[in-house]
Amino acid sequence: MRGEFELIDRYFAPLARAAAGADGLRNDAALFDPAPGHSLVVTVDAMVEGVHFLPDDPAALVGRKLLRVNLSDLAAMGARPRGYLLATAWSGRIDEDWIAAFADGLAVDQDLFDVALYGGDTVSTPGPLTLSLTAFGEVARGAALTRAGARAGDLIYVSGTIGDGALGLRSLSGELPGLAAADAEALAARYRLPEPRVALGRALAEGGIASAAMDISDGLVADLGHIAKSSGLGATLRAADVPLGAAAARALTGDANLGTAILTGGDDYELLFTVDPGRAGEVAALAGSLDLALTSIGAMEAGANVRVLDAAGAPLDVPRGGWRHF
């Protein structure tokens, strides 16, 4: 395999061509100027082999997922993505073909989401492959969405469908042996390649539609709990209204116990947001303009807990913890 600097020149410097302040990755740092009247929004996520992705996941999809989970955090605050920094700790099993495919995946999503590489670091590690990406974007000053703005009576919405990523991981790990091959493939694709809802986040912020928002990474119930805690409220979630994709719905029909995994498993990277009931019509119009399902699944309320109700309105005993590393 090429040396450190040769790898950077061959595979990563081309990713910085559109970043004027990166100067071809020839300096120790880069320059970036947000647009006038905008705030800089910065986020970082790390992915470790065996924890966030599987050793046999395609390298290109690992690169794309790494970028997308960070763009999802920017979307949750209503930001327009602008660029990113990348730190890679390559393990001994990684060869140059893997790195080339990884960089190709990043290039695909750079074009798709209009971002560029501004710099980073490349090292080796005796441990598992470890990747860290810091993404940054911009949002009009004072318009950023946070977890703390929800009000009692606000409707709770989610984008897209919930549970696909969690079930995809279970399927790839051999825990859903009875799943049809097409369904297993669909769920695995959602786990490996989430869809950051950048356009939705920007529309919610620019229109002042959402009172609070975050992306769903640790599990729907746990992340709703984060909004509730930050806003000093409780919440009621209607489990029967949580939107499912066709593959997840079929999996749940075959095994009702998967309902907990769908509500708590994480890896959705959909947006969870709250809206004043008087603006529900704007949400419906936004769903139409984006061709994206936006589903009301509950309401914020006075209190300090998240209640999960079944179709008959009876409480469900659902773990609140969601995914935690420690």
pLDDT, average across residues 195-216: 98
Place 324 in a pLDDT band, splitting at 50, 70 and 90. low
Position 321 scores a pLDDT of: 59
Residue 73's SS3 state is helix
Count Cβ atoms within 10 A of the Cβ of residue 129 and give its class: 0-12 exposed, 13-18 middle, 19 or more buried.
buried
Position 148 scores a pLDDT of: 97
Average pLDDT, the chain: 95
Whether 274 contacts 300, CB under 8 Å: yes
Residue 15's SS3 state is helix
Place 326 in a pLDDT band, splitting at 50, 70 and 90. very low
Position 325 scores a pLDDT of: 47
Q: Which amino acid is at 304?
A: A
Given a cut of 90, whether residue 174 has pLDDT beyond it is yes
Given a cut of 80, whether residue 32 has pLDDT beyond it is yes
Residue boundaries of the structural domains of the chain: 4-140, 155-309
Whether 198 contacts 171, CB under 8 Å: no
Position 289 scores a pLDDT of: 98
Given a cut of 80, whether residue 323 has pLDDT beyond it is no
The fold for domain 155-309 equals: Phosphoribosyl-aminoimidazole Synthetase; Chain A, domain 2 (3.90.650)
Distance CA 68, CA 183 (A): 23
Spell out the residues 6+ positions from residue 28 whose beta carbon is closer than 8 angstroms to its own: none
Q: How is domain 4-140 classified at the architecture level of CATH?
A: 2-Layer Sandwich (3.30)
Distance CA 52, CA 38 (A): 33
Given a cut of 90, whether residue 59 has pLDDT beyond it is yes
Given a cut of 50, whether residue 82 has pLDDT beyond it is yes
Alpha helix (H) ranges present in 152-297? 164-172, 181-192, 198-206, 220-231, 246-254, 258-264, 280-290
Residue 224's SS3 state is helix
For every residue of 186-213, DSSP letters joined together read HHHHHHHS----HHHHHHHHHTT-EEEE
Distance CA 60, CA 108 (A): 9
Strands 116-124 and 210-215: unpaired
Count helices and strands (H / E) in the chain.
Answer: 10, 10
Query: What does the pLDDT look like over 219-253, one tens digit per residue?
Result: 999 999 999 999 999 999 999 999 999 999 999 99
Position 322 scores a pLDDT of: 57
Position 320 scores a pLDDT of: 62
Position 253 scores a pLDDT of: 94
> With the C-alpha atoms ordered 264, 267, 270, 273, is the resulting torsion angle positive or negative?
positive
Position 247 scores a pLDDT of: 98
Q: What is the DSSP letter of 35?
A: P
Distance CA 188, CA 208 (A): 35
Whether 157 contacts 283, CB under 8 Å: yes
Given a cut of 50, whether residue 312 has pLDDT beyond it is yes
pLDDT, average across residues 127-137: 97
pLDDT, average across residues 94-111: 97
Distance CA 248, CA 263 (A): 12
Given a cut of 50, whether residue 129 has pLDDT beyond it is yes
pTM of the complete model? 0.95
Tokens matching residue 3: 């040396």
Query: What does the pLDDT look like over 2-12, one tens digit per residue?
Result: 677 888 999 99
pLDDT, average across residues 299-312: 95
